[in-house]
Amino acid sequence: MNEAVESPELANTPSRPVGDRMQPMTEAEVAAAVDLPALVAELGESLRAGQRHQAVTPIKFVNKRMEPYSVFGAMPSISTAHGLFITKVAALVKLPGTRTINAVVVAFDTATGDLLAVLDGAALTDIKCAAVTALVTDHCAIGDARRLGVVGAGVLALQQIRGVATVRDMEVVTVYGRHEGRTDAFADRARALLPRATEVRVARDLRAAVEGQDVVCTATTSSEPLLGGFDLRAPVHVNCMGAHTPRSREVSTEQLAGSVVIVEDRESAVAESGELHSAALELEDMLGAGADLRAQRTIFSSNGHSFLDLVATAHVLSSAKRR
């Protein structure tokens, strides 16, 4: 039987855990390092330069369970243009009274292999989602959009509001959630986030939050098409951020088929959400489509893409270094 052989130098050198070398960036530290309009611009520049296609980003590993609803995943990406290799490892478990998402992002220098940072993954996901929503909404929503409907009352829904408000001056934001008290509290958080001139309304039925809006955002775990049957008449832009599969999504099959669909990456969208996404525009296509998109019904069917997390990580690390 072979035995491991260790040099005297290594044997006598105590190992140092990662925590001895650096402290993970906390949720507050990640949030403080973000300039959201600047990050939106950096995402656009990176996509226009073709850096997403130059990067290596495998389809993410995901394991889902239903009781309780749980998602466990790992999302790597490596970009020599940014000099970064990252992996986001996340666990989403819906239990009463607990934090829904726990995640970390580990970042390495591609030139040296050095560990650069361990970041709070939930905070990074939040700002990435807000930035991508802002980028897509800016190119798809009508220029004078003033009415926003939000379905969902969690953290991701709040980031949708943050993203839309970065690129459009909303006059009225209407929110809907299944739990009245939780939705009222969510509305208060939205008011604190938005300019005082923006009116935040709580809808007691879903239709009031969906129909007649310029922009609609959904951020739920629903397996049923929440927006099916509602009048989503062009021009309207819809950001669908919930979990999508070939058998479950927040919009109906008919609505998806009758819209211009935008995805982060077509290959992963088809693999995760079905063939209806095979003709979708990727983000780079959207950026080159011009103003014509704003006259149509557009749906951003988001599955997430770790290259976008990588760009957000680069932004946070650069900002933190300057501080």
| Chain segment 110-120, per-residue pLDDT in tens | 999 999 999 99
Output the pLDDT for position 68.
82
pLDDT at 323 over 80: no
Output the pLDDT for position 90.
92
Output the pLDDT for position 100.
72
pLDDT at 13 over 80: no
**Rounded mean pLDDT of the chain?**
90
C-beta of residue 171 within 8 angstroms of C-beta of residue 198: yes
Q: What is the mean pLDDT of residues 54-61?
A: 94
pLDDT band at 247 (very low <50, low <70, confident <90, very high): low
More confident residue, 221 or 39: 39
pLDDT band at 4 (very low <50, low <70, confident <90, very high): very low
Q: Where is 140: in which H helix or E strand?
A: helix 121-140
Output the pLDDT for position 253.
87
pLDDT band at 21 (very low <50, low <70, confident <90, very high): low
Its pTM surpasses 0.85: yes
pLDDT at 61 over 60: yes
pLDDT at 169 over 50: yes
Phi, psi of 104 (to 5 degrees): -135, 150
Q: Where is 88: in which H helix or E strand?
A: strand 84-93
Output the pLDDT for position 23.
81
Q: What is the mean pLDDT of residues 262-280?
A: 92
CATH assignment, 23-124+308-318: 3.30.1780.10
Residue 196 neighbours by CB distance under 10 Å: 6
Burial label, 102 (beta-carbon count in 10 A; 0-12, 13-18, 19+): middle
CA angle 218, 267, 118 (to 5 degrees): 70
C-beta of residue 93 within 8 angstroms of C-beta of residue 78: no
E-assigned strand segments in 100-244: 101-109, 115-120, 147-151, 172-176, 199-202, 215-218, 236-240
Burial label, 62 (beta-carbon count in 10 A; 0-12, 13-18, 19+): middle
Phi-psi region of 136 (alpha: psi -120 to 50; beta: other; left: phi over 0): alpha
> Going by CATH, does the domain composed of 133-305 fall within 3.40.50.720?
yes
Output the pLDDT for position 16.
43
pLDDT at 86 over 90: yes
Q: What is the mean pLDDT of residues 112-140?
A: 97
As a whole number of Å, the CA-based R_g of the chain is 21
pLDDT band at 22 (very low <50, low <70, confident <90, very high): low
C-beta of residue 136 within 8 angstroms of C-beta of residue 283: yes
Output the pLDDT for position 252.
87
CA dist 32 → 35, 183, 316 (Å): 8, 26, 9
Portion of the chain with pLDDT greater than 70, in percent: 91
Alpha-carbon distance 234 to 81, whole Å? 38
Domain boundaries, the chain: 23-124+308-318, 133-305
Q: Of 223-227, 240-244, 301-305, give the range with the top mean pLDDT.
A: 301-305
pLDDT band at 98 (very low <50, low <70, confident <90, very high): low
pLDDT band at 291 (very low <50, low <70, confident <90, very high): confident
Q: Where is 70: in which H helix or E strand?
A: strand 70-79
pLDDT at 99 over 80: no
Q: Tokens standing for 257?
A: 């088929």
pLDDT band at 14 (very low <50, low <70, confident <90, very high): very low
